[in-house]
Amino acid sequence: MYSGIEGFGIIKIIVNNMRKILLFLFFGLIISSFTGKSENYIVIQQDLKLAASIKNGKEIYTDMCMSCYFPNGKGKPKIYPPLA
């Protein structure tokens, strides 16, 4: 068993080595979390429905609203108020 000053030296060595090991593990986990991510995305049905709805809305606006509100949607002052 170590005693006195020699004992504290060994404890410092052990603590320093543990710090190095923990830092190594910590940074290893951080680095590994940024690598190997898959960039494959799946188009879900909701996106397709939204795109179709936007297309239908543009057609309806062109047919029914554009004559009064014009392409920018601002309308005519005091007659047709702006849409947005």
Listed by start position, the domains of the chain span: 1-37, 41-84
Q: Count the neighbouring beta carbons within 10 Å of the beta carbon of residue 73.
A: 13
* Cα separation values, 84 from 20, 40, 47, 66, Å: 60, 37, 24, 14
Cα 27 to Cα 23, 24, 34, 84, distances in angstroms: 6, 5, 11, 50
Structure tokens at 20: 């190095």
Give the number of residues written for the chain: 84
pLDDT at 38: 62
Q: What is the pLDDT of residue 57?
A: 93
For residue 39, the model assigns a pLDDT of 67
One digit per residue, the tens of pLDDT, for the chain of length 84 reads 555 555 667 778 888 889 899 998 998 888 877 766 666 767 677 778 888 999 999 999 999 999 999 998 898 888 889 988
